[in-house]
Copies of this chain bind each other. A is one copy, B any other.
Amino acid sequence: MTAYWCARAVLPSGVADGVLVTVEDGRITAVSSGAAQPPGAVRLDGLVLPGLANCHSHAFHRALRGRTQTERGTFWTWREQMYAVASVLTPDSYYRLARAVYGEMLLTGITVVGEFHYLHHAPGGRRYDDPNAMGEALIAAARDAGLRIALLDTCYVAGGIDQPLNEVQQRFSDGDAAGWASRVGRLRGSDGVVIGAAAHSVRGVPADQLGAVAGLLPEAPLHVHLSEQVAENQACVAAYGRTPTQVLDEAGFLSARTSAVHATHLTPVDVGLLGSSATYSCFCPTTERDLADGIGPSVALRAAGSTVTLGSDSHAVVDLFEEMRAVELDERLASQERGHWSAPELLAAATADGHRSLGFADAGKIEVGARADLVAVRTDSVRTAGTGASVETAVFAASGADVTDVVVDGVHRVAQGNHSTFDVAAELAAAIAEVT
């Protein structure tokens, strides 16, 4: 048994002082507030939050940070630079890169990552001896970095609607959804590892194969990129006479276990379909800024019944605090009004809602029975001083740089801002130098 004493913590009932959290076998067994620090308890200062869920990650994109800002262009020219990195990764180099990137996530309070994984095969589409070598490398990277993973194994079998795969995209393809299912069927989850399914998008999977992707793992998380760019919508309507959301709906892809990533350019009908199916909408605001995607209708989606979750996606920034506030701030830019999302709502998106969308319904809250994740955020930095040490402090003032301690499944992985087992920044630099 371990005990953590939090000077202040965000509980389901609100902010409380002197919170004693008792942990056995990685689970919270007792929570009390108004407690003095008992002998033997590990002290966590600042404001302690539940673990953060990063619901959409392409780990290798971290190698592009700062390197894709030198030229003018579009989402599509950015994608060429992204493919250049994708073309050189191996299971070994991707393991090293992903471990470092997941270490960066952990340092900012992220306790689970949803890895949207489509870089399955060797150059030219050649199969590795273990055809899941890349996915297994990502699972190992998360385990060794110290956080949980939902490996969202992604079907990507077309280069666009009625378009062949290009050279790099050969690495992504299992030929068709049946080939993808055959490979994915060999993956096994474990405690802290969820195997989920994904279709890359209506660009990457023909409409008549979407149902096979949705049906493979009927209890597991199911993810898909949706309407990130206007051009995708136009191509879809031209080919199918329907929006991407409508195509997904007709394929039986939308459900309460589905996450629609981005959900940026939607019609009112699309919003209604996502809401009535209780599909999650995974917003990635810093990436959506970086890639010039636009501002998605978060308020309309919420009103329709879709729960918003968050992801750092391309890792132009890895900071769920910035993602939380960006949902509200970008909606303010779009609407010229304030106060669409409260801080508690945004924190729920980043914690319990995100965890649930990744198949970890037992995480994201500091309560008895939950996985013992604790994230301590400084309330005495220049960013947070004087802001009230409230949920608003966490959502609107703090940054990833304010995280001092992270406990994942009861294990104290980050203390004093440092990872317990490796030098994350040094490993980021080394791993990126290998592939750029």
Contact = CB atoms under 8 A, between A and B. Distances in A.
Contacts of A163: none
Contacts of A382: 103-104, 107-108, 318, 400, 424-425, 428
A119 interface: no
B67 A387 contact: yes
Contacts of A383: 317-318, 400-401
Contact of A66 (B288, B335, B396, B424): B396
Chain A's interface size range is 35 or more
A429 B385 contact: yes
Contacts of A310: none
Nearest to A104: B382
Contacts of A73: 337-339
B330 A289 contact: yes
A67 B392 contact: yes
Nearest to A379: B429
A345 to B, nearest CB: 11
Contact of A386 (B71, B229, B433): B433
Contact of A294 (B333, B384, B397, B428): B333
A409 B431 CA distance: 39
A386 B431 contact: yes
Contacts of A63: 386
Contacts of A69: 342-343, 392, 395-396
A351 interface: no
Contacts of A426: 380, 385
A386 B337 contact: no
Of listed A71, A103, A293, A387, residue having the most chain B CB within 10 A:
A387
A89 to B, nearest CB: 14
A144 interface: no
Contacts of A380: 425-426, 429
A49 to B, nearest CB: 15
A292 interface: yes
Given A72-B338, A292-B332, A380-B425, A65 B396 contact: yes
Interface string A61-93: 011011101111111011000000000000000
A362 to B, nearest CB: 28
Given A65-B397, A380-B429, A424-B382, A74 B338 contact: yes
A375 B432 CA distance: 26
Nearest to A343: B69
A269 interface: no
A329 interface: yes
Interface string A408-433: 00000000000000001110110111
Contacts of A337: 72-74, 292
Contacts of A399: 399, 401
A316 interface: yes
Given A65-B397, A69-B343, A392-B66, A333 B295 contact: yes
Contact of A71 (B332, B333, B339): B339
Given A78-B338, A332-B290, A316 B429 contact: no
B425 A336 contact: no
Given A65-B397, A386-B429, A399-B401, 8 more contacts: A65-B387, A69-B342, A69-B395, A292-B336, A380-B426, A380-B429, A386-B428, A399-B399
Closest 5 CB pairs of A and B: A72-B339, A66-B387, A386-B432, A292-B332, A401-B401
